[in-house]
Amino acid sequence: MNYSYIIIDDNQENALETKAIADGFSELSYLGIASDYDEGLNLILEHKPKLIFLEIEPANKKSNLSLALISELYRYLNVVPKIIVTTSKKELAFEAIQYEVADYFIKPVTRIDMMKSLLKIEKSKTNDQSIPSSSKVEPKTDIVPKVAKPETSSIIEPLILCIKSYGDYRYIDTRDIAYFQADNNSTDIHLNNGEMITAFKTLKHFEGVLSYPFVRIHNSYIVNSSCISRIHTGNSVCYIKNTAIKLPFSKSYKGNVDIIIAEISSGNYLEI
């Protein structure tokens, strides 16, 4: 997934904090920041981002930032971007839901908030594409017009990771990767078949270029969450499918492990 985005917030410091969090996700592409209604609307119409971070309870009332901006977008755009509200108050959450915003963040925005939201957006997009167009039901609301059908996209091919060294190109289907392990300034890539390949990039580099299902769970490990067969929160370990391998996860990355648990349970899932 790849989402271009803009930030609309009358507080420059808060806007930059949101941008700093977003910059940690390789799938997010920054387009600009606006500080008031008119500037924000013009920026949206000019760049047509896929994602908007919108403050709806501004400190400066003259900025005119509010949910009304969403209604205005329907006048000009066939496909309205996903809206994520970023504000310090909870009071407008219910009203924001009526506008069918993608998410509602209470400031300060955190990395976990961002990751959860991107996962939800990607999942909803996948579900939308799996439903025949003839059977889709348009949402009904008295506040904004019906949403135009989402843009169609081609089937996403599996990501191929190329490890290049002195003219040697090693191609790896990322679905075959079980986990990454840090080794000083290099990273060992462990495949499902037990093979290990060394790449002369840091683990932080891979964290920056890979998205879900690859999740950082420890200073030394990024795991393919599709390869996890068991998570023991008491012992702080993840088990890799069809192996005896147990990967530790650290307290600082516990939030990422919680996201893995939530994502697995949101699928075709039965808990006993």
Query: 175 φ, ψ to 5°?
Result: -70, -20
For position 127, what pLDDT does the model report? 58
Beta strands in the chain (DSSP E): 3-8, 28-34, 51-54, 82-87, 103-106, 160-165, 168-173, 177-183, 186-191, 196-199, 214-218, 221-224, 228-232, 237-240, 246-248
Quickly state the pLDDT bin for 140 (edges 50, 70, 90): very low
Quickly state the pLDDT bin for 141 (edges 50, 70, 90): very low
Residue 166 lies in a domain: yes
Instruction: Supply the CATH number for residue 30's domain.
Output: 3.40.50.2300
d(CA 128, CA 102): 14
d(CA 225, CA 219): 16
pLDDT of 174 higher than 70: yes
Indicate if 58 and 13 belong to the same structural domain. yes
d(CA 104, CA 117): 9
User: From residue 179, how far is each of 12, 22, 37, 79, 222 by CA, in Å?
Assistant: 39, 24, 45, 38, 6
Lowest-confidence segment of 10-24, 113-127, 210-224, 242-256 by average pLDDT: 113-127
Residue 53 lies in a domain: yes
Residue 151 lies in a domain: no
Residue 143 lies in a domain: no
Q: What is the pTM of this model?
A: 0.51
Indicate if 232 and 189 belong to the same structural domain. yes
For position 227, what pLDDT does the model report? 96
Indicate if 107 and 27 belong to the same structural domain. yes
d(CA 43, CA 34): 7
Residue 271 lies in a domain: no
Which domain does 77 fall in, by range?
3-131
Instruction: Supply the CATH number for residue 253's domain.
Output: 2.40.50.1020
Lowest-confidence segment of 66-70, 83-87, 137-141, 255-259 by average pLDDT: 137-141
pLDDT of 242 higher than 90: yes
Residue 142 lies in a domain: no
Lowest-confidence segment of 78-92, 156-170, 225-239 by average pLDDT: 156-170
Query: 20 φ, ψ to 5°?
Result: -60, -40
Burial of 215 (0-12, 13-18, 19+ CB in 10 A): buried
